[in-house]
Amino acid sequence: MTQVPDAAFPDPVVHQAAQAIVDGGGANEIARAAAAGKLDFAGPQNDTLLTLSVQGNKVEAVREILRRGANPNVPAERAPIAIAASGADFRIVQYLLEAGASPNGIVGSQSAIWRAASGGRRDVAEMLLDAGASIDAADANGDTPLSNAVQSGEFELAHYLLSRGASPFASDKSGVTIGFWLGFVRLDPTSEKGRARDRLIQVLKDRGHPWPPPGPDEVLAMKAAGQWPPR
């Protein structure tokens, strides 16, 4: 049995609920926390009962906490939906959206769809986009969900993101483009992943991405001259 440190949730009502959730239950304890108006209580590390449940993939606890009225967008800088997008059961993402979670919630500078793209989670990406997620939301390095999917080798998801309107000309702050990444990666062209990569390259060419792709310094120079994305 995992013990929840007292320091994580110093409020005794919230701590009791947190421990019950970790132990696989918690409905009664969640109800008591709700009655005390403490569902959104955040500990010193900005953990709440909702973030704890999302991180632990506790589907029923998430559902109960939201049913009892927890704010699905708290804490803003560690949005439960962005935590869920990287690996939690897709039902958790669904429950959060139904409860009013912003599809553009973030963890640090990483949006929910950015984190979904990293794990190749098309089901989550689709839910987020249908709910209004910003498809080109970039992280602090300038990487978009599409470029993140490409760098993670999730080429099929990259195809999907392009079909939903992602920019094929995305580049990070260093000038590294999606095309540069695809040209850099070496794969067996007869393998499934190699074929997916080659199809993605063809899509970029069809969309007007220069090929061979320009290097990072060239892209930065083109940006400074107002020539990137190419017209």
The helix (run of H) or strand (run of E) holding residue 127 is helix 122-130
Q: Where are the domains of the chain?
A: 1-70
Residue 171, strand partner residues: 177
Q: Which two tokens stand for residue 20?
A: 């019950």
Give the pLDDT of residue 195.
Answer: 93
Give the pLDDT of residue 119.
Answer: 87
The helix (run of H) or strand (run of E) holding residue 111 is strand 110-111
How many CB atoms are closer than 10 A to CB 119? 17
Q: Which amino acid is residue 152, in one-letter code?
A: S
What does 4-48 look like in DSSP terms, one character per residue?
PPGGGS-SHHHHHHHHHHHTT--HHHHHHHHHTT-TT---TTS--
8 Å CB contact between 155 and 197: yes
Per-residue pLDDT of the chain (231 residues; tens, 9 = 90+): 589 988 999 999 999 999 999 999 999 999 999 999 999 999 999 999 999 999 999 999 999 999 999 999 999 999 999 999 999 999 999 999 999 999 999 999 999 999 999 889 999 999 999 999 999 999 999 999 999 999 999 999 999 999 999 999 989 999 999 999 998 888 888 888 899 999 999 999 999 999 999 999 999 999 999 999 987
pTM of the model: 0.92
